[in-house]
Structure 1
Amino acid sequence: MDNDRYDPQNDKGIYYLRTTAEMTVNDAARPSVTQIVNDAVAQCGQETDGSEYDMALWLHDWTLDQLEYDHSLNWCSAESGLTRHQGTCESYQRIYSKLLDAAGIANGRITGNGHTWNAVKIDGKWCQMDLTWDDTNDNWYGDLDQRHLYFGLTDELMAIAHSDHTANYQKGSYAYRSTDLSNNYFVRNGKADEWAEKYADRIQEHLNAKEESFSIDADNQSFPPSISGIQNGIVAHAMNC
Structure 2
Amino acid sequence: MGTMIAGCGDTTANVKEFIQENNPLNSADSLSFGADKDSDDETEAVESAQDEENLNLEEGGFDTDAFSMSREEFEQGSSAHAANKNESDDSTNAADEDESDVGIDAANENLERNDSNGRKNSSDTDNVGSNVQGSNAVGNNSDSAGESTMASNTASSVFDPDKVNKAIDDLITQIEIETGRTGRRKNVEETDKKSGKDATTYFSDTYQEAQRASLGLSSVDIEELKKTQAGNYAFEHLTKEGQTLYVELLRIIQKRAEDVVVSTLDEEVLDVVCQFVLADHPELFYMDGYTYTRYTVAGVLKKISFTGNYIYSDEEIADRLNRINDYVNTCLSEVPSDADDYTKVKYVYDYLITNTEYDAKAPDNQNICSVFLYGRSVCQGYAKATQYLLNKLGVPTTLVTGKVNGIGHAWNLVLVDGEYTYVDTTWGDSSYQKLEAGDDNSQKLPLINYTYLCCTTQDIEKTHVIAETLPVPECTSMKNNYYVREGEYFTEVDMNALENLFKRSYAIGSNNVTIKCSTKNIYDEFKKTLFTDKTVFRLMEGSNNTVSYSSFETQYILVIWLY
Does the aligned pair in 1 maintain the 2:350–2:448 contact within 8 Å? Answer: no
SS of residue in 1 equivalent to 2:555: helix
Letter in 2 for 1:37: V
Deviation, 1:67, is 0.8
Structure 2 residue 328 is the aligned partner of structure 1 residue 37: yes
Query: Which consecutive residues of structure 1, in runs of 5 or more, have no partner in the other structure?
Result: 6-19, 202-214, 233-241
Deviations 1:192-236 (A, max 9, x none): 1397424999xxxxxxxxxxxxx9556299957xx332235xxxx
Q: 1:153 aligns with which of 455, 458, 476?
A: 455
Letter in 2 for 1:45: P
Does the aligned pair in 2 maintain the 1:38–1:102 contact within 8 Å? Answer: no
1:211-230 equivalence runs, <5 A: 216-217=524-525, 219=527, 227-230=552-555
1:107-146 equivalence runs, <5 A: 107-113=397-403, 114-136=408-430
Deviations 1:153-211 (A, max 9, x none): 1011011121x22x65xx9x73343111111111111011397424999xxxxxxxxxx
More strand by share: 2
1:223-238 equivalence runs, <5 A: 227-231=552-556
CA distance in 2, matches of 1:200, 1:50: 27
Q: 2:487 aligns with which of 167, 179, 190?
A: 190
Counterparts in 2 of 1:228 and 1:73: CA distance versus 1, 3 Å: farther
Q: 1:178 aligns with which of 472, 475, 482?
A: 475
1:80-91 equivalence runs, <5 A: 80-91=370-381
Letter in 1 for 2:488: K
CA distance in 2, matches of 1:127, 1:219: 28
The alignment's TM-score, normalised by the length of structure 1, stands at 0.65
CA distance in 2, matches of 1:111, 1:139: 31
CA distance in 1, matches of 2:425, 2:450: 8
Counterparts in 2 of 1:145 and 1:38: CA distance versus 1, 3 Å: closer
Paired residue total = 193
SS of residue in 1 equivalent to 2:553: helix
Deviations 1:89-136 (A, max 9, x none): 011001100000100001121111100001111110111111101001
Letter in 1 for 2:455: L
Letter in 2 for 1:83: L
Deviation, 1:152, is 1.1
CA distance in 2, matches of 1:36, 1:73: 18
Question: What is the match of residue 62 of structure 1?
Answer: 351
The alignment's TM-score, normalised by the length of structure 2, stands at 0.30
CA distance in 2, matches of 1:218, 1:22: 59
SS of residue in 2 equivalent to 1:148: coil
CA RMSD of aligned residues (A): 3.9
Counterparts in 2 of 1:145 and 1:180: CA distance versus 1, 3 Å: farther
Structure 2 residue 339 is the aligned partner of structure 1 residue 50: yes
CA distance in 1, matches of 2:483, 2:412: 18
Deviation, 1:58, is 0.6
CA distance in 2, matches of 1:153, 1:179: 8
Counterparts in 2 of 1:66 and 1:189: CA distance versus 1, 3 Å: same
CA distance in 2, matches of 1:90, 1:109: 9
Counterparts in 2 of 1:22 and 1:31: CA distance versus 1, 3 Å: closer
Question: What is the match of residue 385 of structure 2?
Answer: 95
Does the aligned pair in 2 maintain the 1:68–1:85 contact within 8 Å? Answer: yes
Does the aligned pair in 2 maintain the 1:119–1:176 contact within 8 Å? Answer: no
SS of residue in 2 equivalent to 1:160: coil
Provide the identity percentage: 21
Deviation, 1:146, is 5.4
Letter in 1 for 2:474: R
CA distance in 1, matches of 2:473, 2:443: 30
Counterparts in 2 of 1:175 and 1:197: CA distance versus 1, 3 Å: same
Counterparts in 2 of 1:84 and 1:216: CA distance versus 1, 3 Å: closer
Letter in 2 for 1:67: T
Deviation, 1:79, is 0.7
